[in-house]
Structure formats: C-alpha cells, structure tokens
Structure 1
C-alpha cells in the first residue's frame, strides 16, 4: 500500500510538472506586438487608445503620424504585450470623412479563445526553395476604415487571419486637444486643411462624385465560393504554392494541392503565381472584382464561380475574367507583372 501511494504521488507530481511546463510554454508563445492600419487613399491618424483587460492597460496605441498604407500592410509597431487582451479602446480621425471615430468594446470570451487557439497552434510557413517551418503569429493588427468599420486580425509571416469585427461610433475631439494648433484654426478649418493636404486629388474627385464609400469595407468581408482556372498557351502548370492577399485584409499561402479547389474565401486583392518558366503577380482593383462577383452571384445564386486566368503568348501578360455558366465579366483594371524564372 505504501509503495502504491509513493507511485501515485510520483505520477501526480509528474502530471503537475508537465501541466506547468505546457502552461509556461503557452504563455511564452503568446507574445504579440500591436499595429494599426487603414485603407490606401483613406488616411487616418490615431488620437489615443489601448488594448487592456479588467486590471490594466496592456498596450497603448501611440500616434505615429499618418496611417494610409492599405489593409494588407500592418502599420507601425506601437507597443505589445504577453497577456490576453479583453478590451479595445481606440479614437482616431478619418481625414477623408472629416470626423473622429471611437471604439470601446469588450473582446468576448469566444474571441479570446480563438486568439489563444490560433497563437498556440500556429501554422506551417513555406517559402520557395526552403523547408517548411512551423511558426506562429506575431501581431494583433487593428484595421479601421471609413464608416467606422473596425477589423482585428492576427498577423504573422505570410499569414493574416481575421478574429473579430466591430462598429465604431462617431466622436468629437477638439482640434486643440488633438494637436498644438499653432495657427489657431477652427475645427472646420482644421478638417478642410488636412483634407486637402492628405487626400489625393483623384480620391477627392471620387468622393465629390460618389461620396465616401462607407460600406465598402463591410462588403469586402463577404466570402464567395470560387477558384482560379489558369489556361496556358502551351503546356505549363503552377509549380509552387500561391501567395494570396484578400480584400478583407487576410492573407495566406495556398498549398499546391489546394490550388484547383473551390474554396469559400474573401475576394482576391493580390496573387503571386509561380509557373514552371515564369512568375506572375496580379494586383486586382478591389472594387472592380467586388462588383463583378456581386453581379455574377446575383445572376447565378449559390453557384461556384471561376476567375479564368489566360496566360498570353510568350508569357507577355495574363488576363483575368470572372465566369459562371457562360456569364463573363473581364477584370480590366488588374495590374499584371511577369518575369522569367
């Protein structure tokens, strides 16, 4: 009986030791930096904010100046932490809209569990001509867009995954509180001056004609069942995984065995293809591809959709067309670059 007790106690101590080791490993892996990003042509600037929990502020959102590189870019690293954030607070100015937005929201338990699971599991990263490696996410990226759209992603090398979306509320911050205001501008003079300074003439013309597209980034989150169907002018094939970025801000490397499968995903914003003889890059016009899919899916509800890619003679270019049951819409604004391996 005494021997049995000793063995049981030893087993219990071993279990506790292993459990503590796993917990420690989990905490070590859960280390993150925080960044903020905004759509290209619709610049923002942070006023203040933080990620925190019910006990303290974990990571502050610092004003590093203009943010406008696009949702597919992470933005500057502002700060970071090692604990699970349970609360998001952020106030920023949207220069195209001439207004401030504010989000103050709890990060619910389901989202916390998703964050922890994704950080713990990580993912396989495989760069061309390199052995695949198992890595994990490094950043919590907050994307803000006109209309008060707020998206939160986990970001790592060649990978970004949406974990939550929120709706901010319109807010007000006095120009004198936001910056030193050396010229003693009124609130409207402040808005007008930086609108003209930061918003491109092309975007100003677009806004004058169509207004700020406040619902666009919500629509970008819609997912469709589609695949690329690549046609070569002579025998060839994709020789490596495809690098893909999406209009909803996500990105990934698609495994070669999945390239020809229909998948339920957000629409493509950028793709890099590796063929046997050439490489190709395609930058899609986000609104063009969205409008094409909206029209096709309305005419052919619940049907799989293809993006046909035709590689031209001697690999001079590649053209892209959205197709479904004989209905075709060319993506004429796609920017294509090709070069020999």
Structure 2
C-alpha cells in the first residue's frame, strides 16, 4: 500500500512538473508576441514605392506582406503609411523590392533580421508618462512598447529598420539593397507596350519628384552616403544657462537625423547625464514655466561635431540654450572643452508658456 502511494506521489509530481514546464513554454511564447503594424518610408526628397515584399518568422513562414500604399516619402524621422499589414511574431527575414523614383531604379533587399535584437527592443520598450495639462509635472510612469515595424529606404539602396511608437523610435539594423531589373509592366497597374523602360522612369521621375529636388539633383547630384553619416553618434547633452541660474530643463522630446526618437522626463534629466545619440533634427524642451521647439541644420551640426571630435576625441559636447529675460529669445551655441561655437542656422521655432 505504501509502495502504491509512493508511485502515485511520484506520478503526480511528474505531471505537475510537466504542466509547469509547458506553462513556462506557453508563457515564453505569449511574451514573444508583440502586435505591430508594418510601414515603409523614405526621405521626403527621394520618394519610393513598394513593388512587393514580406516578413518571415523563425520557421520561414509568412507573417505579412510589405504594404503597397503608393508613393512613400514621409521623411526619415517618420513612419510610412499604414496599409493593413502587420503581425505579432518576431520577424527573422525581410524581403523588399521597390522603385526609387529619383534614381530611376528598382532595388531589392533579401536579408535576415537580428530577431534577438528586435525581441529585446520590444521587451525593453520605454517609459510612458501622463502629463497634467496645466503644469509641467510628470507622474504615473508606465511601461509601454513599440507598435510599428518601419523600413526606411534611402538613396543608394540604404535600408534601415526601426521599431517605433509615437515619439519613441529605435534603430534595429542597417541593410543594403541592390539594384535589380523589374519589367515596368509588372509594376504598373496597367501594362503599356508602347512605353519603353526609360520612358517609364523619366515619366515618373517628373511626376513623383518635386521640381526643386530635380533642380538640385541636376546641379549637385544625389547626396549618396548622407543617411549613413546620419547614423554617426556623439556623446552630448542639452543644458540650460538661465539668466538667474535657477531654471532647469524638465522635459525633452528629441527626433534625430538618424531616424530615432526619444522622450526624457525629470527623472531622466535630473543628473544631466551625457548620452550617445545621433545628431538632433529637432527638440521640444520644457523648462519650469516656459517651453520651446528648436530645429537644427544637419550640415552645421555635422561640421561642428566632427571638428570637436577631431580636436577633443574623448570630450563630450554641450548644446547650450541661453534664454533672455522672460524667455523672449533663446540663443544657442555648442561647447566642448571650453571652446564655444554659435549655432547660426538652428531655428527656435516657437517659445510659449510663462
């Protein structure tokens, strides 16, 4: 009798362990599912359009197609058009074929994705903070995560993948597309046997690319390599030099030229830490009473930051804001190792509050 009881006990323990093991596996599977929409974007000056493409899972099975939603040129810092394509599985492979109108070429990329990094990005997510409308006080910190998987296509076949949600965006990887021949009649909605491939490219170059951009291309060419330069990161921070020395920065929402974006709250800013990041495209900053939005010039910033990097390779950089009394104006300069350079082309778009 004791032996039977012992056998039953062992059997029960084995069943329980099996259930726990399976629950653990199921739990991991659930945790690996993060719903997202898929979008495709491109720089505003250099529109593209998807021909075909898809995302695959770890078993090389289809997650979804790449959205075909017409011309895409929302900008490097913005997601593309949502067109009903998405999933919740972690993608492991990307296939995308598209036309680059300004280059008069079709490109294709067929590459594995860093699935572990994608999963880590979804899991890490970001802090989401509710903001009272009447004052710059940030409370109720919550964890949130990304809900868009965005593929950017820049001139030269530069492909960058981001995870994004609202004002949060993080780069996952950079890939390289290659030029490919696609019969224009397989791309066009309606075949035109009387049109040559060259005529097709020339027609859509005129239609899809703005006059000002075409004029710039005829004079200076396409700035190949620029979007890889944007991916260079520097160690810097924003700091405030108020007239009375008492004010401080309590909020930063930054969009970077490399396509990333982030929000920092008081708990992130209190230590005035330096961060390694791409050059800022624009920043919305709140002080204790006032707020401002600033846009930066990429060429001016690249020249200054590269100059400092060569002269002071181990020194961090400050982007300094100097407001006047009552914050009617804000002057800007960049400082490294005691050397200061005024930002001539940065634009303080607006100042409000008080």
TM-score scaled by length of structure 2: 0.86
2:344 counterpart of 1:323: no
Equivalent residues in 2 for 1:67-82, closer than 5 Å: 67-78=72-83, 79-82=85-88
2:277 is matched with which residue?
265
1:210-258: CA deviation from partner (whole Å, max 9, x where unpaired): 2211101001111111111222234553453311111111111123244
Aligned partner of residue 74 in structure 1, secondary structure: coil
1:133 is matched with which residue?
142
Aligned partner of residue 83 in structure 1, secondary structure: coil
- Return the offset for 1:276: 1.8
2:347 is matched with which residue?
335
Aligned partner of residue 170 in structure 1, secondary structure: strand
1:199 is matched with which residue?
209
Alpha-carbon distance in 2 for matches of 1:280, 1:231? 14
Distance 1:183 1:306, change over 3 A: farther
1:123 to 114, 123, 126: 126
1:142 is matched with which residue?
151
Aligned partner of residue 66 in structure 1, secondary structure: coil
More displaced 10-residue stretch of structure 1: 253-262 or 30-39:
253-262
2:44 counterpart of 1:44: no
Alpha-carbon distance in 1 for matches of 2:118, 2:165? 13
1:211 is matched with which residue?
221
TM-score scaled by length of structure 1: 0.89
Asked if 1 retains the 8 angstrom alpha-carbon contact of 2:255 and 2:281, the reply is yes
2:67 counterpart of 1:66: no
Alpha-carbon distance in 2 for matches of 1:166, 1:17? 37
Aligned partner of residue 218 in structure 1, secondary structure: helix
1:121-165: CA deviation from partner (whole Å, max 9, x where unpaired): 433211422522211211111111111111111112331111111
1:267-317: CA deviation from partner (whole Å, max 9, x where unpaired): 111211011221111122233322321222223222211112222343223
1:177 to 171, 181, 186: 186
Distance 1:126 1:167, change over 3 A: same
1:102 is matched with which residue?
108
1:89-121: CA deviation from partner (whole Å, max 9, x where unpaired): 1111112222221111122xxx21121222234
Alpha-carbon distance in 2 for matches of 1:65, 1:292? 38
1:254 to 257, 264, 268: 264
Listed as ranges, the gaps of 5+ residues in structure 2 are 133-138
Alpha-carbon distance in 2 for matches of 1:265, 1:331? 19
Listed as ranges, the gaps of 5+ residues in structure 1 are none
Alpha-carbon distance in 1 for matches of 2:324, 2:200? 51
1:280 to 273, 289, 292: 292
2:313 counterpart of 1:305: no
Distance 1:121 1:264, change over 3 A: closer
1:185-233: CA deviation from partner (whole Å, max 9, x where unpaired): 3322222232233323332333233221110100111111111122223
Asked if 2 retains the 8 angstrom alpha-carbon contact of 1:88 and 1:103, the reply is yes
2:24 counterpart of 1:19: yes
More displaced 10-residue stretch of structure 1: 62-71 or 120-129:
120-129
Q: Which has the larger radius of gyration?
A: 2
Distance 1:155 1:313, change over 3 A: same
- Return the offset for 1:4: 5.6
2:97 is matched with which residue?
91
Aligned partner of residue 15 in structure 1, secondary structure: helix
2:163 counterpart of 1:158: no
Asked if 2 retains the 8 angstrom alpha-carbon contact of 1:161 and 1:251, the reply is yes
Alpha-carbon distance in 2 for matches of 1:196, 1:127? 46
C-alpha root-mean-square deviation of aligned residues, in Å? 2.4
